[in-house]
Structure 1
């Protein structure tokens, strides 16, 4: 019995962890297909492209094959018939009937032991990317994930081709004036590009997916893929160090510093960001936590070329002498809600302990805001990505990251 004891302990730990996180596993590695913007926005569709058996099953289905043929025919006819710029991207969006038809076919094809069933159990559930649906049966989870990805594609096309308002118009709007005469040429060329890359053997969603990604690219809005895969590149020294960390030696697992973008497009780093970094550096050197997560994307001002997290890291190393090997960049967040959500994702995937709190270090105004941010998180994300602890001072606030933060956000294509 003694010789089996280590295995029993290991199995118990696995079961406990699996239950605690509703099947999401810290060890799971996202499948990118070398396109991180696509994978992070539309993970189910990325997996369906990458999994040969699942793709084969879908291509063999008569109903889905007809949908592919109809969508390609509509795309081709739009190039000949659309005389208005917005007519072209509209043809690439999914209709409600198409979404419902696909949902029915996927549920029917997701039989126990099928390629789709295996995909759900070996990728979708462990990834946590559709965490809100984790407790559903595989066929139901697949249907929900499909509906989410379809809605995400339609949202991307609406904002970055049709000019609909994004959640934050001042920083995330389309780059073009859709009413200008020359915009028709751009939309025609985008549809022509999609037409060149799809054929009768394409998966049913690929024309629309290719369209959404093309619109993001021509708007220079592929930021979701920036710096990925971070754990093996820009964050590798710290990610490797996490595995060796003795958490009992510190009161907090890590310090998270939300970014503050400048107003001037030629200024890489704001004074407010510098002051937040100074507060965080003091907390680090006081031994409060072994890691510092600097969080913020290329946000302010509109289409800035500077990234908040990257500039914060540079400043902390060069001016504050914080070791580079303890700084983790989170370079995608576009507002305070996702500073904390994205931090939770990194903590989970890098193996930072969830059993004790992290420490938010920022200015008084932002901590006041975070203390009352629950309603905004529920409105914009649909859940709380954290549980707040004690307010230690004007600049320091305890928090516990939550695993439901892994859920993809369908209407934030630059930071899903």
Structure 2
């Protein structure tokens, strides 16, 4: 159980259920986790890939896909969900709960499916091990499970799918106020006549698309993705692939950088969204950028990471990372190849987590310290025990090590590889 001790309560419940169901699974010696040479698989939906990479991999693994499609018990589960989907095209259900509630997974569903997956794994271990060792482990998306057996990792990855789908349906289908309702809520009042009509019409479209559904999880997945699309919540896919677009020049420079010339590997600037729709960059973000530019121009680090997505005001038109990049280039003449954008982070915790991800994946040395540069008020918050506790609560781990303050605006830290792990309870920035 030591691998589970820091998981958030909701995810912990599922992991405990899955671990209990896995008592009969054969133990396979775990291999390494993240591999810098791994190349991601992609479907035609990047939002799905980032939230549910397990399913993207299964869909491109013909043997596993066929095993799942042929299992009699999973066929029954699929048929039940598909019948609900088709029934909603013509039935009298109009309320959100009656329309989408049946596509969530209960604890009983979790246990039943975990038992079936355990049996499939034990009967076809070599095929599943190839999927896990060649994709799930090296991707880094399941990095916090790297020390587990393949059997356990598979079920924990499935548990993340369960909570991810349930979270999306709760937030964008049922209108529940989830972790950060001020910026992450549904765009519409879900009980309104308009939105109820949208939901009803959604099932007409899903019915036409259902001929392409063959696997037991696809009806619930389709409902969740359509709910995000109905609310225009495509944030995970925006600016991707960054390696070929906004961050391409910086990645080329990383390969040529003489790191010994700099005391720090990168300067990370957290976002602070404007309160006004007419303001591209907030007063505090200007302060963040001014401070970071001073340090860059002094030669303290070769790169600046601007971190922040479309957060404030709710459904506002400005991306914090992009506006900070523009500000740095225009006001200070910072070269574009010295700026790395993270246009997805939505909170201070994920500012650091996402910066870690980019540094690890882009090849910036992780044994060299980094600077988190921000306003005095945010500096004090980042240095507090409260901030550590919030990271543990929201992420299940602390996305930094060696944290220390060296001024009123500078926090030194080192990245941690756990930051690569996808978050099933943050669908807009998993």
The TM-score with structure 2 as length reference comes to: 0.89
> What CA distance in whole angstroms lies between the structure 1 residues aligned with 2:347 and 2:133?
33
Offset, 1:22: 4.6
Q: Does 1:305 align with 2:322?
A: no
What's the CA shift string for 1:362-384, capped at 9, x where partnerless? Answer: 11111111112100000111101
What's the CA shift string for 1:156-213, capped at 9, x where partnerless? Answer: 0110011011211111111111222232211111222222212385211111111111
Is the CA contact (8 Å cut-off) linking 1:106 and 1:139 kept in structure 2? no
Instruction: Specify the alignment match of 1:408 in structure 2.
Output: 422
Offset, 1:82: 4.4
Gaps of 5+ in 2: 1-30
Q: 1:207 aligns with which of 209, 212, 219?
A: 219
Q: Does 1:399 align with 2:413?
A: yes
Q: 1:69 aligns with which of 52, 66, 79?
A: 79
Is the CA contact (8 Å cut-off) linking 1:110 and 1:139 kept in structure 2? yes
SS in 2 for 1:121: helix
Q: 1:185 aligns with which of 192, 197, 212?
A: 197
> What CA distance in whole angstroms lies between the structure 1 residues aligned with 2:425 and 2:344?
14
SS in 2 for 1:319: helix
Is the CA contact (8 Å cut-off) linking 1:75 and 1:91 kept in structure 2? no
Residues 109-128 of structure 1 mapped to structure 2, 5 A cutoff: 109-111=120-122, 113-128=125-140
Is the CA contact (8 Å cut-off) linking 2:94 and 2:200 kept in structure 1? no
What's the CA shift string for 1:264-302, capped at 9, x where partnerless? Answer: 012111121112111111111111111110000000000
Is the CA contact (8 Å cut-off) linking 1:68 and 1:200 kept in structure 2? no
Is the CA contact (8 Å cut-off) linking 2:310 and 2:320 kept in structure 1? yes
Q: Which moved more, 1:336-345 or 1:131-140?
A: 131-140
SS in 2 for 1:293: strand
CA RMSD of aligned residues (A): 1.6
SS in 1 for 2:205: helix
SS in 2 for 1:124: helix
Instruction: Flag the 1:22–1:375 CA change in 2: closer, same or farther, 3 A.
Output: farther
* Equivalent pairs, count: 396
Q: Does 1:249 align with 2:261?
A: yes
Q: Does 1:376 align with 2:390?
A: yes
Instruction: Specify the alignment match of 1:223 in structure 2.
Output: 235
Gaps of 5+ in 1: 1-20
Is the CA contact (8 Å cut-off) linking 1:354 and 1:401 kept in structure 2? yes
Instruction: Specify the alignment match of 1:13 in structure 2.
Output: none
SS in 1 for 2:193: coil
Is the CA contact (8 Å cut-off) linking 1:54 and 1:116 kept in structure 2? yes
SS in 1 for 2:305: strand
Instruction: Flag the 1:243–1:83 CA change in 2: closer, same or farther, 3 A.
Output: same
Instruction: Specify the alignment match of 1:57 in structure 2.
Output: 67
Q: Does 1:364 align with 2:376?
A: yes
What's the CA shift string for 1:311-353, capped at 9, x where partnerless? Answer: 0111111111000011000001111000000000111111111
> What CA distance in whole angstroms lies between the structure 1 residues aligned with 2:318 and 2:120?
46
Offset, 1:76: 1.5
> What CA distance in whole angstroms lies between the structure 1 residues aligned with 2:166 and 2:205?
18
The TM-score with structure 1 as length reference comes to: 0.92
> What CA distance in whole angstroms lies between the structure 1 residues aligned with 2:320 and 2:238?
13
> What CA distance in whole angstroms lies between the structure 2 residues aligned with 1:154 and 1:271?
37
